[in-house]
């Protein structure tokens, strides 16, 4: 059994912790099908080496506090910042994905921190950071689940929208929002029980350095959760051609296929940053129900949970 199969089978063993409703339309796929859809452009080792080379070139020319910033990517988010909470707008896929990704987060973090997943506020007592929080689509439900939440984003407009929206409810008004980067908070000496960065790594300047910052923000034995898009042909067809050009869910050019990471690459980058990936799941869109489901199919959208080494 290779490392990816072991990580996926860990999720199968624990899926009883995820609310049953998420599995009503569950389909299981073999991981060999998934592997075959990733184009054989480069081995994970070659890609990681390229990422690390880029990181070291970048860090020679930029202060560490700005090393994850990709200005072109940030401009795309700034341009549509007003639409974060329009459920039919450009962030519709994130709105639709939210219950599914929250089910994965609830399940993995409750197990990790020995919390009761059936409790209304299972994250009571936990300090979580949502890196690249955007308008707060994830930060808010995390706060409602009892966590003490910090949400950070590199785009000032996003943070302002997140603040305005969170202030409408006393529970979410407790969220600390800041326009900053993970690396800046590392410089400030901040740490958290769990660090989450959902759909962010594909937009940062250097993913390897970004993961090191996420790791540095996580306490020893803490948890890290990341989600992103696989650099596979299926992802090119669905996340770019279909989502941006045919269905026009997202503005054209939202995603650069070459910035995507395969699950193997993400696992390796995290491992080098002292985070062991323990579990991974795919998200699969069901066009009939309009819902996203957790699945073993990690060939397009996937989410990973890891633990920070001591
Ligand atoms: C696709 S959105 C995801 C938003 C949110 N995580 C979610 O899933 O609902 C990516 C977000 O990451 C932010 N971002 C991109 N690069 C960043 C960086 N280096 N540091 C902090 N935020 C960043 C963008 O401004 C944008 O809000």
In order of 46, 174, 296, the CA distances from 30 in angstroms are 25, 43, 7
| pLDDT tens figures, 159-189 | 999 999 999 999 999 999 999 999 999 999 9
Q: Check whether 50 has a pLDDT greater than 70.
A: no
Pairing of strands 275-286, 291-295: antiparallel
- Of the two residues 190 and 5, the one the predictor is more confident about is 190
Please check the confidence at residue 286 and state whether its pLDDT lies above 70.
yes
Binding-site annotation: residue ranges for S-adenosyl-L-methionine: 101, 132, 153, 198
Q: What does the pLDDT read at residue 4?
A: 67
What count of Cα atoms within 13 Å lies in the side-chain half-sphere of residue 141? 12
Helix 71-79 and helix 156-166: axis angle, to 10°? 40
Locate tokens 């795919």: which residue? 282
Burial class (CB in 10 A: 0-12, 13-18, 19+), 133: buried
The chain-wide mean pLDDT, for the chain, equals 85
Ligand 1 lined by 254 (C-beta under 6 Å):
no
Residue nearest (by alpha carbon) to ligand 1 atom 16: 204
Tell me the CATH number at 64.
Answer: 3.40.50.150
Residue 33 Cα to ligand 1 midpoint, Å, equals 30
Looking at per-residue pLDDT, the higher value among 45 and 21 belongs to: 45
**Does 98 score more than 60 pLDDT?**
yes
Query: Given this model, what pLDDT does residue 10 score?
Result: 61
Give pLDDT, residue 31. 29
Protein residue closest via CA to atom 11 of ligand 1: 132
Q: What share of the chain is helix, strand, coil (3-state, %, to 5)?
A: 45, 20, 35
Q: How far apart are the first and last CA of the chain?
A: 26
Interval 101-124 mean pLDDT: 98
Q: Which ranges of 167-287 does DSSP label H, i.e. alpha helix?
A: 182-187, 207-217, 233-235, 263-272
**Predicted TM-score (pTM) of this structure:** 0.85
Q: What are the start-end ranges of the H helices in 87-155?
A: 92-112, 139-144
Range of the domain at 154: 3-308
Question: Has residue 232 got a pLDDT over 70?
Answer: yes
What is the 158 CA–ligand 1 centroid distance (Å)? 9
Residue 78 near residue 203, CB atoms below 8 Å = no
Report how many domains make up the chain: 1
**pLDDT tier at 38 (50, 70, 90 boundaries)?**
very low
Rounded Cα–Cα distance for residues 95 and 72 (Å): 24
Better-scored residue on pLDDT, 15 or 260:
260
């Amino acid at each position: 059994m290779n490392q990816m199969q072991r990580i996926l089978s860990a999720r199968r063993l624990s899926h009883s912790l995820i609310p049953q409703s998420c599995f009503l339309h569950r389909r299981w796929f073999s991981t060999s099908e998934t592997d075959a859809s990733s184009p054989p452009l480069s081995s994970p080792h070659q890609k990681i080496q390229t990422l690390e080379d880029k990181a070291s070139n970048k860090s020679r020319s930029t202060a560490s506090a700005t090393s994850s910033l990709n200005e072109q990517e940030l401009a795309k988010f700034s341009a549509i910042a007003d639409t974060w909470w329009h459920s039919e707008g450009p962030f519709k896929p994130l709105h639709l994905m939210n219950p599914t990704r929250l089910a994965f987060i609830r399940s993995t973090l409750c197990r990790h921190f020995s919390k009761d997943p059936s409790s209304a506020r299972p994250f009571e007592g936990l300090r979580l950071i949502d890196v690249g929080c955007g308008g707060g689509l994830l930060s808010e439900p995390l706060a409602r689940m009892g966590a003490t939440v910090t949400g950070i984003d590199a785009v000032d407009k996003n943070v302002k929208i997140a603040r305005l929206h969170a202030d409408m409810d006393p529970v979410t008004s407790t969220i600390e929002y800041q326009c900053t980067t993970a690396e800046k908070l590392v410089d400030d000496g901040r740490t958290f029980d769990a660090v989450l960065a959902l759909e962010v790594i594909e937009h940062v300047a250097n993913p390897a350095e970004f993961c090191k910052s996420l790791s540095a923000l996580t306490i020893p034995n803490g948890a890290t959760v990341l989600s992103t898009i696989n650099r596979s042909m299926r992802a090119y067809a669905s996340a770019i051609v279909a989502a941006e050009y045919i269905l026009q869910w997202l503005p054209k050019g939202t995603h650069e296929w070459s910035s995507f990471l395969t699950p193997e690459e993400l696992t390796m980058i995290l491992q080098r940053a002292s985070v062991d990936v323990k579990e991974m799941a795919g998200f699969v869109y069901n066009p009939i129900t309009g819902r996203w489901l957790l699945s073993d199919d990690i060939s397009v959208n996937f989410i990973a949970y890891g633990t920070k080494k001591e």
